[in-house]
Amino acid sequence: MEEYGKILIIAMPLFAVLIIIEKLYGIYKGEDNVPVMDAVSSISSGITNAVKDVLGLSITFISYDWMVSKIALFTLEPNAVTYIVAFIIIDFYGYWNHRIAHQVNFFWNKHAIHHSSEEFNLACALRQSIATFINLFTFILIPAALIGVPAKVIIITLPIQLFLQFWYHTKHIKKMGFLEKILVTPSHHRVHHAINPEYIDKNHAQIFIIWDKWFGTFQEELASVPPVFGITRPAETWNPIKINFQHLNLLILDAWRSNNWKDKFTIWFKPTGWRPENFEEKYPVNKIINVYDFQKYGTENSKALTYWAITQTVFTLLIVGYLFDSIGSISLTNTLIYGFFILTTIYSYTELMDKNKNAIYWETIRMILGVVILIYLGGWFGLNTIAPISTYIIITYLLLSWAMSIYFVSFEFKVSKPEFINS
């Protein structure tokens, strides 16, 4: 996964620049739909997903390489035609993988994070799962394996297909004429992210909209029905790690509380959102009934908290960039420790964004972890050989971050009406 990390070093700043451009354009047009806290949560989610992928924290029961060796009828050379064929097959695979995630209770848990933003912007494209520890759907790539598409072609094409899904997460591009008939456009994907009854669970395609049209899941964006975004059981947190496991937690609780053994087993495979009989009354969870009348989460935050969230995100991106650039020279054990530190960092500052007072405990744990790393390794994973003052910079940052958490928890969170900005 070292190569994927190198790709992300290029992709991350590019995505960040495009998100900033979208926000500035929205402000210019008077249509800003990139709240800072929402964007920070989205970017943080993208970081957690990237770290998980680069560290290889997932298991594939049936590898594509194994399938090719067992069932390939031909052997294709890795030329331009092979890459085009692979791209089309991967997109077909993506459609069904995506559709299953929307329609089966257990698999919704890995995808809910992507829909959890109550906005629709480029940043929300980065809301990707860390809850996918086991890849069960490699078999959908059987068509590629049958015709002998080499594994290295699939490995290269997969991230390209993923990155091409970034651009259409925007409200600023309207309908695109003839392209609407072939490609997934922002209009199509706005429908997909909407929770309006007319739109829900439609337009699962990732690049070619023809899959939805062929398999009966297509819905055009209607001028009379403005899309409303989010999930019907709202996340109500900026913490992407919590969001990743909210639905799974509910499934576990419902299975445990059910007295019907059939329900305990089948709840995992029922349609998304299904609960045992009378559970909505016995164990209610917050659910949006009227999509046109609900309060979006966390729309008011103090200037200090907003600017501090941005600062934390920038620092996290910097240390993640260093990890991805240096992963080949860091031992596996130290790489896992580094990844754990990043996840702890994100958990800590997003708890602070949620105005949870326990953020100070998470920040204390993170500071202790950071100091132990510096002492044990004699610096920050070899960074001091490049920049000798880096150890002092990181110590200063850890202490400042801890002090800021104390400030927010002890003072600002106790103030009834601080100076707010719509962020």
CA distance 391 to 6: 24
Residue 150 falls inside a structural domain = yes
pLDDT tens-place string over residues 355-411: 999 999 999 999 999 999 999 999 999 999 899 999 999 999 999 999 999 999 999
What is the pLDDT, as a whole number, of residue 263? 95
Residue 254 falls inside a structural domain = no
Same domain, 307 and 194: no
What is the pLDDT, as a whole number, of residue 60? 64
Q: Rounded mean pLDDT of the chain?
A: 92
Same domain, 41 and 182: yes
CA distance 295 to 291: 10
Residue count of the chain = 423
* Residue 162 reports pLDDT greater than 80: yes
Same domain, 69 and 197: yes
* Residue 331 reports pLDDT greater than 50: yes
Residue 50 falls inside a structural domain = yes
What is the pLDDT, as a whole number, of residue 300? 81
Residue 152 falls inside a structural domain = yes
Same domain, 341 and 197: no
Query: At 112, which amino acid appears?
Result: A
Residue 93 falls inside a structural domain = yes
Same domain, 319 and 205: no
CA distance 121 to 385: 40
Residue 288 falls inside a structural domain = no
pLDDT tens-place string over residues 86-129: 999 999 999 999 999 999 999 999 999 999 999 999 999 999 99
Q: Closest Cα to residue 69, out of 160, 148, 170? A: 148
Query: Where residue 5 falls among pLDDT bands split at 50, 70, 90?
Result: confident
* Residue 416 reports pLDDT greater than 50: no
Contact present, 117 and 45 (Cβ < 8 Å): no
Please tell me the least confidently modeled range out of 161-165, 174-178, 240-244, 296-300. Answer: 296-300
Same domain, 61 and 206: yes
Query: Where residue 2 falls among pLDDT bands split at 50, 70, 90?
Result: low
Sign of CA dihedral 17, 119, 305, 113: negative
Q: Closest Cα to residue 279, out of 289, 268, 267? A: 267
Mean pLDDT of 281-293: 94
Same domain, 195 and 48: yes
3-state percent helix, strand, coil for the chain, nearest multiple of 5: 60, 5, 35
Domain end marker among 215, 234, 268: 215
Phi, psi of 208 (to 5 degrees): -105, 115
Kindly state the tokens that stand for 114.
């992507």
What dihedral do alpha carbons 164, 204, 36, 12 form, nearest 10°? -20
Residue 223, CB-side half-sphere exposure with 13 Å CA sphere = 2
Domain end marker among 215, 232, 248: 215
pTM, two decimal places: 0.92
Same domain, 182 and 305: no
What domain range includes position 177? 2-215
* Residue 333 reports pLDDT greater than 70: yes
CA distance 267 to 277: 11
**142-146, 155-159, 223-227, range with greatest mean pLDDT:** 223-227
* Residue 423 reports pLDDT greater than 50: no
Residue 240 falls inside a structural domain = no
- Looking at the DSSP assignment, which residues form a beta bridge with residue 392? none
CA distance 188 to 209: 8
Residue 96 falls inside a structural domain = yes
Same domain, 204 and 348: no
Task: Give Rg (Cα) of the chain.
Answer: 23
Contact present, 203 and 188 (Cβ < 8 Å): yes
Query: Where residue 422 falls among pLDDT bands split at 50, 70, 90?
Result: very low
Share of the chain above pLDDT 70, in %: 95
Mean pLDDT of 297-305: 88
Same domain, 22 and 143: yes
* Residue 348 reports pLDDT greater than 90: yes
Domain end marker among 198, 215, 232: 215
* Residue 6 reports pLDDT greater than 90: no
What is the pLDDT, as a whole number, of residue 155? 87
Query: Total domain count for the chain?
Result: 2
Residue 123 has a CB neighbour count (10 Å cut-off) of 29
What is the pLDDT, as a whole number, of residue 63? 81
Share of the chain above pLDDT 90, in %: 80
